[in-house]
Every structure is written in C-alpha cells, then in structure tokens.
A and B are shown apart, each in its own frame.
Chain A
Amino acid sequence: MTAQTTHTAGAGGSDVAEDPVPVVRAVGLVKRYGDLAAVDGVDLTVPAGAVYGLLGPNGAGKTTFMRILFGLIRPDEGRIELFGRSELAGRVEALEDVAGFVETPRFYPYMSARANLEALATLDRRVSADRIPELLEQVELTDRARSKVGEFSYGMVQRLGVAAALMRSPRLLVLDEPTNGLDPAGIRDMRALISRLASTGITVLLSSHNMLEVEEVCGHVAIMRRGRLAFDGSMAELRAMAQDVEYRLVTGDDARAADVCRGAPGVSNVRTATDGIRLDSRPGPVEALTARLGAMGIGIRQLELPITALETLFFRLTEGDAAGEAAAA
C-alpha cells in the first residue's frame, strides 16, 4: 500500500498529511540466509507523520527488515529509500534524520549512562551534548545519569535507547520491540512516550509481535509472515477485515450446545475443547445463538472473547495458509 493521501491514522496515530516523498520506501526487498528467505520481496511505504506498526511473530522478518533499513546488513535484492535517499549500504547520508534501535539497544556497560550518550553525541558530531540532561529527564533516568549501564535493568536500557535515539532529533524513529522485557508499568510508560513523540510529528516505525500494542499505538500496520507482507494498510482497514471473532462458550451441556452452534446461522469454525466450545462469529449471530440455547434449556455459564477481533485476524494472517494471506493482501 502506498499511503500518500490524507487520512485519519486511527488509534494512537495522527492525521497523515499529503507528502510526495515517503519516509521509508522499500521495493522488492529480499534477504536470504542460505535457503531461508528472511525477507522475501517486501514492498513497503511509510508515509510522513505515521505511527507505523510492523507486526509479526518471532522470525517473521521484522528485525531483518530493520537491519536492512539501518544499513547493518545488505539486501540480496531490492532497495530501500529513506526520505527519498537510496544507496543505503551503510552510508551516513542515508541515515540523516533517522534514529532508533534494532533489537535491544546496546551500550558500553563499563561507562555511565551520561558517558555513553556523550560518546554517541561525539559520533553524531553535529549533536550537542548539552541536550543530554533534558533527554535523561524525558526518559526518567536523571537520577542514574552517572551509574554504569552495566548496573541497569532491561527497562532502563530500553529507555536509555530511546534517549540515545532522540538525541539525533530524528524525523524517523525506528523502534524494534520497544516494550520487550518491560514490566507492565514500563510498557505503559513506553507506549505513552511513543504516543507523545508521535504527536510532535515524528514518524515512528515500530516493530512488535503484540497486536494489542500496535492497535493502541499505531495508525498503520504491516503484518509480516515468513518474510512476506501478509497485510499492509491502515488500522481502520484492518479492523474492517476483522469481523469474525473467536468466542469461548461454556454451557451446562457442551455436547448439545456444540450441535446447536454448528447449525446456527453466522457461526463457523465450531470446535469443542476441555475448557468449553470455541466458535467464530459476530455479535448479532451470537446474540441469536444465546437466545436459542436458553430456549432449549441449555444454561450458559460463560461467554467470553479470549482474544480480540484484531488478534484473531492477526493469528489468521500469520498462521493461516497462503490463500488467506493473498486474500488479505
């Protein structure tokens, strides 16, 4: 999808203004490791101002894509442009206005947080170390500025990674699984930080394997599966696709209830399990089903959505067959 028109980004995103030059444009990107295609013909366009989620299970190719974006590895085929600049291949010019981290941000453990940021400011040359106190405050690490990074928790290193990225005053912020390994409070704070940054106009490309996180933060999403794009579009488009939801139903007589479910209109994929009956449907048919079960004297003990509609779609896209993938794309 080439999202270069004005539209509403959806949850967590901002309105995307028309921009003739996309922030990221990947064309026919391929990276192979032996017989395995980690990235297999990916075409992706990230418009300016978007909070773009790159979603997929572990091993889907998200991190490989981001490594190519940063010039850390070379694609076997295709190219990637940042702000219209190609010739990535590690060239410094291509990474102007771009910052972020791939996998866990890494620092020198024998140096303090401040010394690490000062070293990175020196490498960035045009970046002033004067901003370091402000950035440390922004990621709530002011108190640990002089502590060695080797003593930091995982979450603190993640936050320091964000500070290191922001030091470059980027127009594109690339974050690879930024909430990985964080505790619930850390996850909440990181998401809030990303939303806050996005509201300042920075384009954010965020990888995650968590549909809920992407749904909360991103306005656009690309879903990767085995190196390929299974979906690429706005959250609104994804939601429109995600109509059938998986329900879990527990009744007083699951065997009879399952037979009723199988014959109910608008209900599909009925399967029985030890914890009840699972079925795919929508609110209307489910309402009719529950009324019918009640009329037949089958008591309903529990009816719940184990996963959201988007999660259901995500699992279908990332675990489903090639036909489903093609239909989604």
Chain B
Amino acid sequence: MSPFAAVYRVETRKLLAQTRVRALLLFLLVVPWIYIGLILHQDRLPLETLYGRYLKDTGFATPLAILVYASQWVLPLIAALLAGDVFSSEDQLGTLKTILTRSVGRTAVFWGKLAAVFSFTVLAIVIVAVSATLAGVITVGNDPLVDVGGHLRSASSAAGLVAISWATVVLPTLAFGAIAMMVSILTRSSVLGVIVPVVIGLVMQLYTFLNAWDTVRHLLLGWTMSAWRGVMDSPSYYTPLARGLVVSAVYLVVATTVAFVVFRRRDVAGG
C-alpha cells in the first residue's frame, strides 16, 4: 500500500467514525424528503425560487429547487464543515505529531487527507442530489419538466439535466473546500476553517446581486454555482459554465497550493 493510499484509508475511516460527519450525511439524506413533504402539505409554492412553481407538477423540480438553495450557501457550508477542520482538528487534538512520527511523509498526509475530504464532499453532493430526486419522483411523480426556455423535457431528459446540473456544482464546491482547508492550515482554527469559506460564499453571493462590474462577478465562485441554469435553457448555452469551471479550478489550485506549501514547511510544535 502506498503512503497516499494508507493516509486515504485512515482518513476515510476517521471521517466515518465522527458523529458530526455521520449526522451531516444523514441530514442531507433526510432534508429533501422533509422539504417536499412540507411543500405538499401547504397551498403556497416558493414562486420566487427557480422551479419552485413546478414542485407539485413534477418530481424533477425538487432537486432543481433544492439546488438553487444549496448553491447559495448550503454547498459552501458542507464543504467547509468537512474540510474546514481536517488539519486544524489534528492541531487541536495534538494528533498531527502522532501521524507524522509514523511511516508516512507530509506530502502523503496532505494529499491523502485532501482526497478523503473531497471524496466525502462529492459523496455529500451525490447523497443530497439523489435523495432530492427520489423524494420528488416518489412523492410527486416523474412527469415531464419544463426547462428554463419553456420547452417540455421528457422524464429521461429531465433526469439527465438534473444530474448534469448537480454535477456542475461539484468543482466550485471543492474549491470552497480547498479554501476551508487552506484557512484551517493557516490559522490552525477549526472555527475559522468553517466560518471563513461560508462568509466568503455569502459575500460572493451578495456581490452577484449588486449592479456592479460583470468581470468581477464572473470571477466569483458564487456566480459559477449558478452557471447550471444555462444547461437548463433551450437552446442550452455553456459559456458561463465553462468559464465558471475554469474559475473554480483556479480557486482550487491556488488554495490547495498555498495549503500544501504551508503544511510542508511548518513546525509541528503544539500538543
């Protein structure tokens, strides 16, 4: 087993052993069912939310309406909760020295932890997307979906669009995770590791609401989180999505590089 694989295995086991992580995954599994259950038991629909008006017409509207909420602050929060203390918790528990005195180097520790946290982040996104789709289809049905351009999409086409829409938020969510990890390494604080990325996400989201420079808006992760709307249009357009993925990749690479360099060089003096 390579050092990377060893760290990855241990980290996934540690994440699964944490009540906080298990509770988060369970929450993501259950919350779409609660959401659609509440919608079906009230007369009003969230008309201001994209696909909110179709929630009682087709089950495919459920994962898309939830994606609107999720992309605003839930996904950055999930990323931050998983990645924001993956290093700082080791600092607080004093266990970093325990790991680093075994047969794995800092490089393997860093990439193994990163891979484990990103795996769980993707797993969290998959859980909420699949759960929301199942909740919608089972409780409302799999009727065709009206896309953003007003065209009716068949059930199979709608399912594909839902999958693609959720897939487009994976990279920006991982970018938020990388920022959380970087902050947790720089500050050695789990609190800041969780809060800072969420605040950054909210500030970026606020900026997108302002009538300000478009160039800046297009360079924000909050903007890339909503680029999936182009996929739902007819005809579909992909320029915002492509640009958003590049922007997300840049955030991801820069934050990961800073985190890696600092982690490699720093003294482990606590605990």
A-side residues, CB < 8 A to B, are 67, 70-74, 90-92, 95-96, 98-111, 115, 119-120, 122-127, 164, 168
Contacts and interface: CB of A to CB of B under 8 A. Distances in A.
Contacts of B101: 70, 72, 95, 98-102
11 contacts: A71-B100, A72-B268, A110-B18, A110-B19, A111-B14, A115-B13, A119-B14, A122-B1, A125-B103, A125-B104, A126-B103
A107 B95 contact: yes
A74 B269 CA distance: 10
B271 interface: yes
Choose among B14, B97, B99, B106 the residue with the greatest number of A CB atoms under 10 Å from its CB: B97
A107 B269 contact: no
B203 interface: no
B7 A92 contact: no
Nearest to B264: A90
Contacts of A72: 97, 100-101, 267-269
A100 B101 CA distance: 8
A124 B103 contact: yes
B3 interface: yes
A73 B269 contact: yes
Interface in B152-206: none
Given A70-B97, A125-B1, A110 B17 contact: yes
A164 B99 CA distance: 11
B45 interface: no
Given A106-B95, A108-B14, A119-B13, A125 B100 contact: no
Which bracket fits the contact residues of B? 20 to 34
A72 B266 CA distance: 9
- For the complex of A and B, list the 8 residue pairs with the smallest distance between their C-beta atoms, beginning with the closest: A106-B94, A73-B267, A72-B268, A123-B102, A119-B10, A124-B103, A106-B95, A92-B105
B93 A106 contact: yes
Contacts, number: 90
B95 A103 contact: no
Interface string B86-113: 0000000111011111111110000000
B104 A92 contact: yes
Given A106-B95, A123-B6, 10 more contacts: A70-B97, A72-B268, A99-B101, A107-B98, A109-B93, A110-B17, A123-B102, A125-B3, A127-B103, A164-B98
A124 B100 CA distance: 10
Interface in B1-40: 1, 3, 6-7, 9-10, 13-14, 17-19
A190 B269 CA distance: 25
Contact of B100 (A90, A96, A126): A90
A106 B102 CA distance: 13
Contacts of B99: 123
B14 A70 contact: no
A108 to B, nearest CB: 6
Nearest to B93: A106
Contacts of B9: 122
B17 A123 contact: no
A108 B95 contact: yes
A124 B104 CA distance: 7
A269 to B, nearest CB: 39
A24 B77 CA distance: 47
A104 B106 CA distance: 21
Contact of A115 (B17, B102, B105): B17
A148 B226 CA distance: 43
A123 B94 contact: no
A101 B271 CA distance: 11
B104 to A, nearest CB: 5
A127 B94 CA distance: 23
Interface string B59-99: 00000000000000000000000000000000001110111
Of A74, A91, A99, A110, the most chain B CB neighbours within 10 A belong to A110
Contacts of B14: 108, 111, 119
Nearest to B99: A123
B17 A120 contact: no
A168 B101 CA distance: 11
Contacts of A168: 102-103
Nearest to B266: A73
A188 to B, nearest CB: 26
B127 to A, nearest CB: 22
Contact of A106 (B13, B269, B271): B271
Contact of B3 (A92, A96, A115, A164): A92
Contacts of A71: 100
